[in-house]
Amino acid sequence: DAGVIQSPRHEVTEMGQEVTLRCKPISGHDYLFWYRQTMMRGLELLIYFNNNVPIDDSGMPEDRFSAKMPNASFSTLKIQPSEPRDSAVYFCASSFGSRNQPQHFGDGTRLSIL
């Protein structure tokens, strides 16, 4: 069974550019989570969806960040405009049944904003 699939694996872009990160959750999972990981702050929850509906976006740092989940098998996290402080590893994770079930992580997108 395929795991959580994220793309791209690496992204390097200049400040001010739009960045779009993509995620395909595990088939049948109804919860999807976006995280950001940095050395300073560790793993931070940005937003999560249940059945494609955003439930809690309180972790989204600024209006420059937005996330969508148009269907059960696809989600995007967009940063526009990007800034150097957005450089981090962004993980997508999914789980089944309820929020307190184990989450399965994708391989992450390593984002560098120059």
Partner 1 sequence: QKEVEQNSGPLSVPEGAIASLNCTYSDRGSQSFFWYRQYSGKSPELIMFIYSNGDKEDGRFTAQLNKASQYVSLLIRDSQPSDSATYLCAVEDGNQFYFGTGTSLTVIP
Tell me which residues touch partner 1 (CB under 8 A): 33, 35, 41-45, 48, 56, 91, 99-100, 102-108
In the complex, least distance from residue 74 CB atom to partner 1, rounded to whole angstroms? 19
**CB-nearer residue toward partner 1: 82 or 103:** 103
**CB-nearer residue toward partner 1: 19 or 106:** 106
Other residues' Cβ atoms within 10 Å of the Cβ of residue 71? 8
CA atoms within 13 A on the CB side of 70: 4
List the structure tokens of 91: 């993980």
**CB-nearer residue toward partner 1: 48 or 49:** 48
Q: What does the alpha-carbon distance between residue 1 and residue 4 come to, in Å, rounded to a whole number?
A: 10
